[in-house]
Structure 1
């Protein structure tokens, strides 16, 4: 590892990660920090206090995205952005998203400690509702900011209790005064755990993320007929859960036809009336497919709906399949990726290039701003799980690469 006195404080980074993990902590060691809840508000407040202690200016836009700004020597230059998200899955881990936000804060703290004034301003971002677990639409804050879908559409989304996004923003006081739309920025860097096994398996300290794979997401509703479990013979059953099982089998088969690069998941399911002695009459569930090749996702999107409808019909039921969104494969900016690659090499970290299997705010931000991502390994590739785990030195390595890349970008000659 190269010698430099410009080092982040690894212990402070880890202590701050553990401090944030106290908010929404679960008995199994994870976090439950659902977006726009009181727990999310508490996490946002702690982040704000940390930022303001450094003299950073924190602003909030209309979808609740938070931007903490450190001025540069040249106020006319667009800022270099870095960040991720603080919201979690219902049974999430400590590091998914939070690592990127807290590492961005540590970059700011290190610049402050070393009395470094960058040429361009720098901003650390906390994007609203990356996970999509409460309102069913992931990448919401970055999606509205980047214009992928409208603010009004986002405001109208409701959780299972009927609470709308707009109401939830108001309830926690984070419906900010600034417009949620792209502003001129010089670059965006996002540090994240890999959420997969590749880096750990190959003993690499850093993932140089070159882009993200394509995705298509659906909401599915299968309608049959609820009936008495004891008196309804097989010939007259319209079992919505059985039909859903056939469609879920189809999702799995569609994934496996594409080998190790294929991804297909049903992660949410509701059965009605959900009584043990009633044949289910309605099932609602999610469907998503992902693949590094955009063409493969297009093939799936062209064939799966009809095949799924046929599977439901063969079991006496009807299927309503609504495409929520389709995300094309997103390559990241070569010059920003090169800064990550150079930083890892200069610091002596083992690294490899990798395509992100997960969706990240960086995917939408990249539509407007030159973007790159940095991955750190996570134990057993496990994420979206309370047992999600990384080592302090892995967090520190990722943060140090982030520091080097952001500093180089903010001080570049233009």
Structure 2
């Protein structure tokens, strides 16, 4: 491996990942660190303490996003940002999000150890609620910061127990004084596990992410009539679950029509009254489509609701669809992407360019400043699962590329 002799400490990075994984550890080896819970507060407190021990200045904005700043030689230069998120899925893995945050911490520690001061300031970010598991809106922290979601709308979101985002922020003490809006910054870099099988399958250590695919999400609710399972004949049934099954099949068919680039998923389903001998009267579920081509998603966003409504009406039920988000494919900044590619090449890591299949905070941040992402492999492409796994050498390689890209950007001539 060639390149710079300024090396991050791979063992220290791995140890910090394992330490962070203790916050919300599950018996199966994963984590349950839902956003704005007491467990999330403990992880945030830990993150803050580590930052302050390095002399970083930590500030928190109104949606709970955390920014840890390291001064640069030129205070007039705009900061280079990098980071990810610490919240997890309900049965998540140790590395999704946390790798990007703890690798960012290792970048800061390495600079501290080597007594290096970059020309531009640096800021390490922990975005609030990337996963959307608790309140239903993925990328909530970065989306609110970027102006995609109005702050009042985000505050009003409620979890299944009726707790609002605003209440949850106050409960854990992370509703910050800073306004949740973009501030002048130079660029943003995010390291993340791939959450897919491509890098592992091809024997590549680094994914050079050129952008993220387009997406559209809905919340669906089908209303029929709950009635006795034994006494209601077929001619009078209005079975909401049968109607939902037909819509779910439509999602799968539309996905497969697009070939290997197609993505269509129903990941949440709630049936009422959920009794063995009662015909379901109401079903709520999620629907999402993803594709690298924005035109494909635009077509689905326009065509799918009418087709799904007709399927549901044929069962005697009614369908309500609420569109949660829709965004076009997001390209990343060519210069930032080039820095990632140059670092991987200089270090001798097998790499490939790729489009992100998952949504990440970088997607919304890229609307406000130049951005790029770095992927590392994950075993069998498995993520959002307690068995999610990466190798220490993979984490180290990704962090070293992050270090070099960030430092190069912060030291570039202006």
Shorter-chain TM-score range:
over 0.9
Partner Cα separation in structure 2 for residue 5 and residue 48 of structure 1:
29
Partner Cα separation in structure 1 for residue 274 and residue 16 of structure 2:
43
Quote how far apart the aligned CAs of 1:306 are. Answer: 0.5
Partner Cα separation in structure 2 for residue 397 and residue 299 of structure 1:
39
Residue 187 of structure 1 is matched in structure 2 by 187
Quote how far apart the aligned CAs of 1:342 are. Answer: 0.1
TM-score by length of 2: 1.00
Question: What are the residue-to-residue correspondences of 1:49-198 with 2, within 5 Å?
Answer: 49-198=49-198
Partner Cα separation in structure 1 for residue 278 and residue 385 of structure 2:
32
Residue 354 of structure 1 is matched in structure 2 by 354
Question: What are the residue-to-residue correspondences of 1:14-413 with 2, within 5 Å?
Answer: 14-413=14-413
TM-score by length of 1: 1.00
Partner Cα separation in structure 2 for residue 124 and residue 29 of structure 1:
27
Secondary structure of 1:374's match?
strand
Secondary structure of 2:248's match?
helix
Partner Cα separation in structure 2 for residue 327 and residue 276 of structure 1:
40
Quote how far apart the aligned CAs of 1:3 are. Answer: 5.1
Secondary structure of 2:149's match?
coil
Quote how far apart the aligned CAs of 1:4 are. Answer: 3.3
Partner Cα separation in structure 1 for residue 150 and residue 396 of structure 2:
37
Partner Cα separation in structure 1 for residue 371 and residue 302 of structure 2:
30
Partner Cα separation in structure 2 for residue 63 and residue 257 of structure 1:
39
Partner Cα separation in structure 1 for residue 375 and residue 279 of structure 2:
46
Partner Cα separation in structure 2 for residue 49 and residue 5 of structure 1:
29
Partner Cα separation in structure 1 for residue 284 and residue 339 of structure 2:
45
Aligned residues: 414
Q: Which runs of 4+ in 1 moved over 6 A?
A: none
Partner Cα separation in structure 1 for residue 90 and residue 319 of structure 2:
28
Secondary structure of 2:135's match?
coil
Secondary structure of 1:8's match?
coil
